[in-house]
A and B are shown apart, each in its own frame.
Chain A
Amino acid sequence: MDKKVKVVPCSGIGKVFGLMAREAALETVIELCPEKSETVCLAYLVTGDKEVKEQIEGFNCITVDGCPKMCAAKNVSIAGGIVIEEIKVLDTVKEHKGKKFGSPTQLDADGEVVVNEIAAKIAKIINEKK
């Protein structure tokens, strides 16, 4: 049975914080913890298809959200995932006041810095869980 932690970002399309959530999750599953984590398409979860519910139901999940709507956390919970941590991009962004992070399309250098910080936080949680 695949016991990888599922890291699911919101990938919000309206603001840079959605892109930061997406890139941080991908940095974690591709670069930092490829053996211990993977992602699942949030849009696939929204379909409610049986196959995707089976991928997430009962598994440990870390959600990464770019806005207070908490779409990733809510949808993962609805799908039956066990949300062990809800990462809020804005919590890390607050530590970088006055910086420009880029656009919903492309991150600036400061955006990349925050993404790497968030990814490191996620990786730490995953490594401490195992």
Chain B
Amino acid sequence: MSELKVGILSCSGEECLGGTISRLATRKVLEELQMVDTVTLCLPLYLAGGKEERNFAKVFPTISVDGCDKLCAKRSTEKYSGKINGSVDVSKIIGNENALNTKIVRNKDLTEEHFQMVEEVVSEIVKAISKISPDAYSGKTFKGCSCGDK
């Protein structure tokens, strides 16, 4: 049976809150989403990694999750790996002022308000996944990010 997996690529930007929210929302979808299996890849592996990593978006229908409107995850994925099937811009969900907050970036500084933002982004990722056409699934396999097990 072919693997019905969706790839989710987060920018995980270190400079601002939007990157932290993108990372946490992506992790939450990976850990909790039941409707479809999900897999991720560390974005910098496109340059540091090999052919398998660069084929990521060719193998999986892929959603990018970006913390700000630079859309680094979306642009890099399309540049190195192929067309993506959907994208989520966190700054459009939580607002630019929040997304570009450079003071609250560490996990330990997050409050309930920020975790609510994570939930909102999770909802948008799930919506993006639900819009993927069944034809987008290639059925090929990929073991997941080299740095981890999913």
Of B12, B47, B103, which is within 8 A of A75 by CB?
A: B47
Asked if B117 lies at the interface with its beta carbon under 8 angstroms from chain A, I say: no
The docked-state distance in angstroms from the alpha carbon of A123 to that of B105 is: 18
Number of A residues, CB within 8 Å of B: 42
- Closest Cβ–Cβ distance, residue A118 to chain B (whole Å): 14
**A74 to B12 alpha-carbon distance, docked (Å):** 17
Instruction: Name A20-62 residues within 8 Å CB distance of B.
Output: 22-23, 25-27, 30, 39-49
* In the complex, B85 has a CB within 8 A of chain A: no
Does B127 sit at the interface, judged by CB under 8 A? no
Measured between beta carbons, the chain A residues less than 8 angstroms from B135 are none
Q: Quick check: B44 and A105 within 8 Å, CB to CB?
A: no
The one of B43, B49, B107 that contacts A43, using a Cβ cutoff of 8 Å: B43
> B91 in the interface, Cβ–Cβ < 8 Å?
no
B145 pairs with A75, CB closer than 8 A: no
Q: Is the CB of A43 within 8 A of B48?
A: no
Let me know if B147 and A42 touch, CB within 8 A. Answer: no
- The reply to whether the CB of A18 lies closer than 8 angstroms to some CB of chain B is yes
A9 proximity list for chain B (CB < 8 A): 14
Let me know if B105 and A26 touch, CB within 8 A.
yes
Contact with A along B26-60 (1 / 0, CB 8 A): 11100100000000111111111100000000000
Partner of B45, one of A41, A71, A104, A106: A71
Residue pair B15, A13 in contact (C-beta under 8 Å): no
Complex: chain B residue closest to A7, CB-CB: B14
Q: In angstroms, how far is the closest chain B Cβ from the Cβ of A48?
A: 8
A19 touches B107 (CB 8 A): yes
Contact of A74 among B14, B48, B72, B148 (CB under 8 A): B48
A-B contact pairs, 10 of them (CB 8 A): A13-B41, A14-B42, A14-B146, A18-B42, A23-B106, A30-B103, A46-B47, A47-B79, A49-B70, A104-B27
Chain B residues at the A interface, C-beta cutoff of 8 Å = 10-16, 19, 23-24, 26-28, 31, 40-49, 70, 72-73, 75-76, 79, 103, 105-108, 144-150
